[in-house]
Structure 1
Amino acid sequence: MDGHDTDDPKQSTADMTVFVQNLLQQMQSRFQTMSDSIITKIDEMGSRIDELEQSINDLRTEMGQEGSPSPSATSKAKEEPKAADNSA
C-alpha cells in the first residue's frame, strides 16, 4: 500500500467539507438577506395599509358618513337573512 493513495482521499474529503461549508454559509447569507428584505416589505405594506385606512376614515368623516355601515357590512347583512330564509 502506498501512503500517497491514502492521503488523496483524505485531502479530497477535506476539500469537499470546506466547499460544502462555504456553500452552506453562502446559502445562509442569501436566505438571511431575502428574509430581511421580505420582512421590510411586509412592514412597508403594513404602514401603507394603515395610511390607507386613515385616509378612508378621514374621507368618511369629511363626507359625514362616519356612522353609516361599510358596503361590506351592508352586503353581509343582506346575505344573512337570505341564508336564514333558505334554512327555514
Structure 2
Amino acid sequence: MAKTDPKTLQELTSVQTQDKFQAMSDQIIGRIDDMSSHIDDLEKNITDPMTQAGVEELEGENKIPATHKS
C-alpha cells in the first residue's frame, strides 16, 4: 500500500486502484519481456537453418540463394 495510511474510503479506493494498475502494468511488462525472448528465440531458430542452407536476406522480404547473387 501507500506510504501513508488512507483516512477516507475515497483515499482507500484510490490507493487500491493505483496498486491494481501497478500490478497490471508489471504483469504486462513481464509478458512483453517474455514475448521478446520468444521472438528472439524464433528468429534464431529461423536464421540458423537459413544460413546453413545458403539463403541470405536482401532488402525487404526477398530471399535468394547465396550462390545466385550477382
TM-score between both structures, scaled by the size of structure 2? 0.69
1:69 and 2:58 aligned = yes
RMSD over aligned CA atoms reads 2.1
Deviations 1:49-80, CA, capped at 9 Å, x for gaps: 11111111111012121x35377246xxxxxx
More strand by share: 2
TM-score between both structures, scaled by the size of structure 1? 0.56
User: Would the alpha carbon gap of residues 19 and 60 (structure 1) be closer, same or farther in structure 2, given more than 3 Å must change?
Assistant: same
Greater gyration radius: 1
Aligned length: 57
Report which structure shows greater RCO (CA 8 Å, sep ≥6): 2
- Percent of pairs with identical residues: 37
User: Would the alpha carbon gap of residues 70 and 63 (structure 1) be closer, same or farther in structure 2, given more than 3 Å must change?
Assistant: farther
Q: Unmatched 5+ residue regions in structure 1? A: 1-16, 75-88
Q: Unmatched 5+ residue regions in structure 2? A: 1-6, 64-70
More helix by share: 1
